[in-house]
Structure 1
Amino acid sequence: MMNSIPCSKRSIVFVLLAVAVVGAVGTAAAVTVSEDSVPEEVTVETGTSVTVTLDDLYTDAPSEWTLRAETNLTGDRTWQISKRKFGGAGIANESGSGSSIETAVSQGDDDESVTLTISGTMPNRTEYSYDPQQNLSAITLYRVTDSGETKIDTINVPYYTENSKQARKQINQAKTAIDEAGSVSDSARTDYQSAIEFYNSGQFASAIREANSAQEAAQQAEQSQQTTQLLIYGGVGILMLALIGGGVWYWRNQQDDYDKLR
């Protein structure tokens, strides 16, 4: 006869397994990450650097663990690490190079916070996206313990070329024109969507052309609406003047008739 595990015991086993799995491949941590210096965007094939600071190192975490940082920047990648001690007892500095770095974090060594800087080159990319804007993972942080690793955070930096930046600017202007016009032709919206599709495929000259077409159509629609409004206002004004003039004429005629009767 096969042995069976009572339901309550099976539940306990399942919970323990679930906890073990979460501990091994966790994706959240209580560590606080502050973006001290992160560029808004970077031109491809140019140098850049990113600096972050990690606080609350031991919240929901062991008193000793390993911080691993990875980067997708290229070129001569250099890392600088500064560990601030509790009570202002000093700062311990480390450095390294390459696509990743590891450093020990220890409450016993009075490590209160860790500031990390990566310097490297934004690589030339072929993937582009208008919304959300394309970006590169400059730093990905992990907490590593005996039970596994937990992803702490990823710092992304948008990248661009001069052509992609010009195309994005033109698409933004087209969107503004469409929003301000309110009611535009289907062709204007089609051109706008085509501009985004061309941008996403890296065809920036075509994106600029379609965005220009959408913007011009939207501006023409807005001008037409303004002209129509002016004509309406003008017509209302003429009607009001006619009514006022007619009223004055009627009043004067009434006065003349009254004078004749006297």
Structure 2
Amino acid sequence: MNSIPCSKRSIVFLLLAVAVVGAVGTAAAVTVTEDDVPNEVEAETGTSVTVTLDEPYEGAPSEWTLRAETNLTGERTWQISKRKFGGSGIENESGSGTSIETAVSQSNDDESITLTVTGTMPNRSVYNYEPQQNLSAITLYRVTDSGETEIGTVHVPYYTEQSKEAREQIDQAKAAIDQAGSVSDSTRSDYQSAIEFYNSGQFQSAIREANSAEQSAKQTKQSQQTTQLLIYGGVGVLALALIGGGVWYWRNQQDDYDKLR
């Protein structure tokens, strides 16, 4: 398994509770905590994603069905842990496939539900520089007699060796352009071309254009520094000339004064 873990993050998803009479009710907050979600995963490698659903009855009936789906591929396995009220125990379930369902019941003392899905990050042909392309690793739904409501989706960015290299080169080009401050239209055109090539999956062309933009921006920065040094040097020479001229004038005035005496 090849994944990059990140720190725990919490996302609050809003569920809309609809009254029986058909009026739209107030929004109910359900917290889905991302316990173990990779920052990004290389395509065609294994990974796992873990989330916890707290406050499962907030804006929901006391009994409903939790359905989870994944776009991971390969041999997909699920692990579900239901923590009981008051810490009285944990009930575990398991399954496999693209989705899994489990009953959530207040009468069964289900306080929170933790889900872990394991599978393979597919190599998709869709790439985007900003925001970075990602996969819906887990999508949660609340299913009741009246239908289903999406609780939230956890997205995981993916990459290949070439796309990562291209992204890093574009990042370097952007940093060089930002440092230069003012660059030519040609430099900016190369940078934009690099992004367009990246978005179309032409990573070698993206690397070439981004490298060209970076080198051009660095040359501009160096030229600016050289110009500043020449200006500072010219100011220094002028200052020395003025000082030298002042000293010469003062001494000349002193000599004239001595001759008059």
Do the two structures share a fold, i.e. TM-score over 0.5?
A: yes
* Structure 1 pair 29–47 and aligned structure 2 pair: CA distance change class (3 A): farther
1:29 Cα deviation from its structure 2 partner: 5.4
Aligned counterpart, 1:131: 130
1:18 Cα deviation from its structure 2 partner: 5.1
Structure 1 residues 231-256: Cα deviation after superposition (integer angstroms, max 9, x where no partner): 10000011111111111111111222
Aligned counterpart, 2:171: 172
Runs of 4+ residues deviating >3 angstroms: 15-19
Aligned counterpart, 1:86: 85
- Tell which has more relative contact order, 1 or 2 (C-alpha 8 A, sep 6+): 1
Distance 2:119 2:215 in 1: 41
State, as a whole percentage, how many aligned pairs show the same letter: 81
Distance 1:40 1:221 in 2: 35
1:17 Cα deviation from its structure 2 partner: 4.0
Distance 2:154 2:195 in 1: 25
1:227 maps to 2:200: no
Letter in 1 for 2:121: M
Distance 2:21 2:249 in 1: 97
Aligned counterpart, 2:204: 205
Preserved CA contact (<8 Å) 1:175 1:192? yes
Letter in 2 for 1:107: Q
Aligned counterpart, 2:158: 159
1:260 Cα deviation from its structure 2 partner: 2.2
Preserved CA contact (<8 Å) 1:29 1:150? no
Aligned counterpart, 1:50: 49
Preserved CA contact (<8 Å) 1:29 1:152? no
Q: TM-score, normalised by structure 2?
A: 0.89
1:242 maps to 2:241: yes
Aligned counterpart, 2:64: 65
Structure 1 residues 162-197: Cα deviation after superposition (integer angstroms, max 9, x where no partner): 001000010000000111001111111000000000
Q: TM-score, normalised by structure 1?
A: 0.89
Preserved CA contact (<8 Å) 1:44 1:159? yes
Distance 1:29 1:220 in 2: 55
Distance 1:49 1:91 in 2: 21
Distance 1:100 1:136 in 2: 15
- What residue ranges of structure 2 are gaps of 5+ in the alignment? 1-19
Q: Which has the higher strand share?
A: 2
1:182 maps to 2:198: no
* Matched residue SS, 1:31: strand
Preserved CA contact (<8 Å) 1:33 1:52? yes
1:97 Cα deviation from its structure 2 partner: 0.5
RMSD over aligned Cα atoms = 1.6
